[in-house]
Amino acid sequence: MVLIIQKGPILNEKQPILQSGKALKQPLEIIDFELKDQKNQVFTKNDFKNQFTLLFFGYTNCPDVCPSTIYKLSQMKKKISQDIPEATLEIVFITLDPERDTTDRLDEYMNFFDSTMIGLTGEISEIVKLSANLSVFFQRINKEDGYDFNHTASIFVINTEAQLGASLSPISSLEMLEEDIRTLVSK
């Protein structure tokens, strides 16, 4: 007689199944950083704590992906806030273009979508440090009439402990993103 012992999954390693992205088995620690929000207030890693945060990197002069993603995030936040009022959900946009995206420009841009959203800017060294921690690629592309950026367009889900818990695809439908956010904030 042969006895076979099969090791099953450890319950705390299970992760939710997402339609529009991937949940991390082990949340990633976010490094310390210091940026400024659109009201010129200091924003650090600690400001992510005690709520779920949907984090997106981009720039205000982006012609397509950034505004469409921010619009989706604003619509999703409204819907989830109505359906799950106890879930505290924050939307944070970090510019990759602090040269043009001043606090005043971010204030105007964020208010266009949702006045409760937070836009962050600051020293490029801080933005590079944080983007590298989250594996966000960005590259300035010079053009005759100015410049644009190629950049990672993922939506990052930061848990209540200020850790990266999942990343979602911005090209997913609003319904898929909503369902995934519900899954993550309900666990």
Q: What residues in the chain have per-residue pLDDT under 50?
A: 2-13
> What is the rounded distance in angstroms from the CA atom of residue 89 to the CA atom of residue 78?
10
Residue 96 lies in a domain: yes
Q: Per the domain annotation, does 14 fall within a domain? A: no
pLDDT of residue 56: 96
Query: Beta 42-44 vs 138-143: how paired, if at all?
Result: unpaired
**Following DSSP, what letter does each residue of 102-171 receive, concatenated?**
-HHHHHHHHHHH-TT-EEEE--HHHHHHHHHHTT--EEEEEETTEEEEEE--PEEEE-TTSEEEEEE-TT
- The average confidence (pLDDT) of the chain is 87
Residue 132, domain CATH: 3.40.30.10
Q: Is residue 4 part of a domain?
A: no
The residue segments making up the domain with residue 69 are 34-186
**Predicted pLDDT of residue 186:** 78
Confidence (pLDDT) at 15:
63
Question: In the chain, how many domains are there?
Answer: 1
| Residue 16, pLDDT score | 66
- Of 124, 98, 78, 126, give the one whose Cα is nearest residue 38: 98
